[in-house]
Structure 1
């Protein structure tokens, strides 16, 4: 027991030296503050404690430097979390803006189609969404989400705000398959929009973005840029926009004017259509 007490004496002595040195440093700091000269005793004490002060300073700096990476990790973690939250907020706003823009575009398309129906006296129309496309015939066919239960009939005309799309050729209770005018089976009779050159003809699809056709009258005149509308012959009423002429060539044997036509409808971007039941179509 006595031996353990003796062993503790050096430790107590060391702590006493350290505390004394710290008190001396504080005392010197207070007494020399604001004075140009110090006393001889203060000078001696300063020389004694300077090494101790340097050791304490180095220890303090060492602790600060050793803990800096740890503190830096916590700071980086907080910054990363803040950046993550900011990124999530930006993504949320971007999604909202995209949805608003899509809704705005849908409204514009709807308004355009309604105005088109009104101008062409197309009444009792139905709206429908495209729900699937024929993978092997992108331009030729698609399916919509209305059918006979909704009043759709076979041969019903299908259009949107840009012009003629095609007709219903297959029907179910709550779905309908649409054959477009760009399909090889989608022949449409047309008339040139011109007060003088009001010649008629026929165009049909070829399962691409263009249609081909010809004028009935060998002496008929047609030029690139002419706009074509339905003539009223066949299943479609008169006056529905078909597209514009992009090419003209005269057949040397028949002397007929053969044309290529770009449809006014973008068939790759069809998502909503209007359907006029066949029994309501008034032809001229």
Structure 2
């Protein structure tokens, strides 16, 4: 009898709710009472999912940011030689009506330590022999030439900046093709151009690039911009100062070049045995 009465009562409740919606308010009240319990039970699961999603999103953003920065650095480096190539193409078209240039492979590196002592301008980067770095390997960044690898260790390398007093780099003036030497002064914002006669056509604002004559740095990479030209009567050479384009005291990332047609890739062992300043020895007279 109880079962029959309960069954009839249930059927009546279902009919009343279905036909006349009499139990809607009752269900709403019960749902409000039960909701805190449901939320409390589901809270740990939601919190765990949110934490995992945040960690996943952060890691993805870090990886994307690193990848995009390396891509931007590579693209900027590929654009570095555009102006120098324009000047060179204008000169070569007059002779051969053609110009062929090979692109140099690049490897990104981060700066780990900086030593900007006036008598020693060096960096430490996080690329070594296991990554393919070797002594004498040239370095650039998105603005210009930075220096060359002085010592290559298994996991890191020591870089000699172009502003080091012992470093001399064969360069040429883009506008005129004048060849000279860019010598470090110990100041990361100042280079000296040596052995330029006073009568040469050289003006502040001229861009100088690597000439490729030293056999270590590939040609046509921007080095510095002329800031001062002083012609002193009676002197054999003008005093010329230039500002490095690479912003040596502010860079965070650099690119290591592997010249495809230079001695650096053909004979890394021999270059590693040379002193860093040896490149300037045969170039003391431009």
TM-score bin, normalised by smaller chain: 0.5 to 0.7
Instruction: Compare CA radii of gyration and give the structure with the larger one.
Output: 1
Q: Which runs of 5+ in 2 are unaligned?
A: 1-57, 86-100, 265-286
CA contact (8 A) 2:230 2:238 kept: yes
Please state how far the C-alpha of 1:256 moved relative to its aligned partner.
Answer: 1.3
Please state how far the C-alpha of 1:205 moved relative to its aligned partner.
Answer: 1.5
Give the root-mean-square deviation of aligned CA atoms: 3.3
CA contact (8 A) 1:148 1:172 kept: yes
Report matched runs for 1:1-284 at 5 Å.
108-116=72-80, 121-134=102-115, 136=117, 140-194=121-175, 197-208=176-187, 209-234=189-214, 235-277=216-258, 281=262
Higher relative contact order (CA 8 A, sep 6+): 2
CA contact (8 A) 2:192 2:241 kept: yes
CA contact (8 A) 1:190 1:230 kept: yes
Cα deviation digits, residues 160-188 of structure 1 (max 9, x gap): 12111110111101111111111111211
**Alpha-carbon distance change, 163 to 135 in structure 1, aligned in 2, over 3 angstroms:** closer
**Alpha-carbon distance change, 236 to 135 in structure 1, aligned in 2, over 3 angstroms:** closer
TM-score where L is the length of structure 2: 0.56
Q: Equivalent residue of 1:255, what SS?
A: coil
How far apart, in 2, do the equivalents of 1:183 and 1:191 lie?
19
Q: How many residues align?
A: 186
TM-score where L is the length of structure 1: 0.56
Residue 29 of structure 2 corresponds to: none
Q: Which runs of 5+ in 1 are unaligned?
A: 1-95
Residue 92 of structure 1 corresponds to: none
Cα deviation digits, residues 81-136 of structure 1 (max 9, x gap): xxxxxxxxxxxxxxx9xx89x76666533431244489873423221111111263
